[in-house]
Each structure stands twice: as structure tokens, then as C-alpha cells.
Amino acid sequence: MSAIEQKTVTADEAGMRLDRWFKAHYPGMGFGRLQKLLRTGQVRVDGKRAESNTRIAKGQTVRIPPLGVELPANDKKNAKPKSSKLMADDKAAIEDMMLFEDNHVMVLNKPAGLAVQGGSGLKRHLDGMLEAYTNKKGEKPKLVHRLDRETSGIILVAKTRKAAQELTKAFRHRNTRKIYWAMLAGVPKPHQGRISTYLARSEEMERMRVARHGDDEAQHAVSLYSVFEKSAQKLSWVTLKPVTGRTHQLRAHAAHIGHPIIGDDKYFNIENWELPGGIQNRLHLLARRIVIPHPSGNGMIDVSAPLPPHMQQTWNLLGFDVTDYDPDVDDPE
């Protein structure tokens, strides 16, 4: 059995939630297992009990009991190195995703179906692919936020520790504008609105549930929506803006108001609803646009991603034209 470990929080990890820190270091460990370890005091920060949403600071020590899970994602000593061909393939794939790049940051267009981080049974994921961009100092570009596996669109990657700190700070202080496009079942009324609930993780499935204030692990979640186009009363093209950044927030909120996202296998909750012919039963959710202060302190990063093929097919079928869309006018505020 492995011994107890003590890991020190690095500068670029400062401000992370403890559960996200664990996800990055131990992708094979489930959320429920971590909760049990926290409840029983086996995981501690600087010798004190902690919760999953505890924010960690540079230099703090995290106590880790024997876990029996796969190697930490950043443990290179026992990891089998990738072949040069695999590294070249990963680099080429990331170059195909590239929407913007400079010395500080990369903005990628993640395809639907590609996982952002590793997990049980996953051999290829974006975090691992970024090893192909490791510099001479051994520093790998760092993901600063996440997208669900089946969600396509904008992913921001920091190329330096300093950039990671600044971008993470911008997300934490909500100095970031994120716009999503989705195709919903039906047409929300009113056509513009605000969704405010508490969300908590459902124990029996990898999904979130609407909870009550004060429920265990419940977190306040706020989303804004605006209907841009509709097809009769059957479908609607909606822009979504997450004010907070909870897991599955937009998907859970869309289902909560009775208009789940087309192709959502976790949250689509309308019985006997038939998908119109010609539309693929895949998640119709795109991280369309991000506007965030540049980590150098000079100007803004403002990048948009195109529709993925399965969503473009739906837009074509319904006669929706993305060139009609003016993001500065039509994005919900």
C-alpha cells in the first residue's frame, strides 16, 4: 500500500478549488471518493480539515492518504513517455484547433467528443496532448478552464505560469465574458431572461441537480439567456451567458426551465419528444466567444469559434444564418 503523501501547492495552482486540484493531479479518483476522504479528515490542507470548495494557496501542504488510483497526471517519473510520432500527431491536432496564439496564450477550438482532461478509460485528452508544447524548461501549457467532453468551442490555454495566474484571476473575479450558442427544445418565454438556482452534484449519476439553498454542496448558479431565432415552436437558437461557472450549469439550467439542449444525454427530460429529421442526436452546445483581459495587461483577447459540423448541419436545415448575428448587439447582458 502506498504511503501518505504531502504535496505542496505551486504558484500556478494558487486560488484553485481543492476538488479541481485533485482532478488535475488524480484524474482517476471520483468526486464521491474525494468527498468521503474530506468528511473523514483523511485529506487535509496545512493539517486542517477542508472542503471540496476550499481555495488553496501557494506553499500550502495537502495531505493525501493512500488512494489506489492511477498516477498523478504530472508524475513523469513512472509514466511511459509518448513516442515522437504521437507527440507530432498531438501538436498537429492542436495546430488545427488554433484560433489565436501569442507568447502568452493559446485559444483553441475544441471539437465535440474530445475530453479536456483524463479520466477512467480515457487515453487521449487535451491536457495530455498539450505535452507536445512543453518548453525547454519542462513547462507544459496550462488549461485555465474546462469544457464538457461533448461541448465544442473556445478553450483558453496559458503558455506561462504568469499568464495562468492572471487568466485564473480574471475568471475568479468574473472579468470574463463568455458566450455560448445552443439549440433548445421549444422556445423559452420570455425570450430573454435570467435563471438563478442552486446546483449540487447528484450522487447516483455524473450530473448536477437543482438544489435548495443550504443543501450539502449546493452552490448558487446564475445564467442569462436570449432567444435569437426560432423554428416554429419546436426549436430555438439561444445565446447563453454563464454569470457563474458551475459544472454543467448551462445544461442543467436549460433543462430546469423546460427547454433542454438538443442532444443532451444527461439532462434532456421531455418524454416522447421526437428529434426532427436530419438533425443529429449530439449535444448542440458551443462555447462561441470569449472576451478576457490579456494576461500581459495590454488590451483584450476577443475570439469566436465557428459552429461544429453537427450544429452547422442543423443551422443549414433550419435556414439559420450565422452571418445575421451581430455579437456586440445580440449577446445577452
Q: Round to whole Å and give the CA distance between 292 and 312.
A: 26
Q: Is 255 exposed, middle or buried (0-12, 13-18, 19+ CB in 10 A)?
A: buried
Q: Round to whole Å and give the CA distance between 142 and 164.
A: 7
The answer to whether the beta carbons of residues 134 and 90 sit under 8 Å apart is no
Radius of gyration of the chain (CA): 20
Q: Round to whole Å and give the CA distance between 116 and 97.
A: 13
Please name every residue paired with 156 in a beta bridge, in sequence order, or none if there are none: 107
Grid cell at residue 236: 430555438
Contacts of 196 (CB under 8 A, 6+ apart): 220, 221, 222
Of residues 19, 148, 264, 331, which has the active-site annotation?
Answer: 148
Q: What is the largest CA-CA distance in the chain?
A: 62
Element (H, E) at 310: helix 309-318
CA end-to-end distance (rounded Å), the chain: 53
- In 3D space, the residue among 161, 156, 117 whose CA is nearest the CA of residue 14 turns out to be 161
The answer to whether the beta carbons of residues 323 and 288 sit under 8 Å apart is no
Contacts of 289 (CB under 8 A, 6+ apart): 154, 177, 178, 179, 302, 303, 304, 305, 327, 331
302 is catalytic: no
Q: Active-site residues: which are they?
A: 148
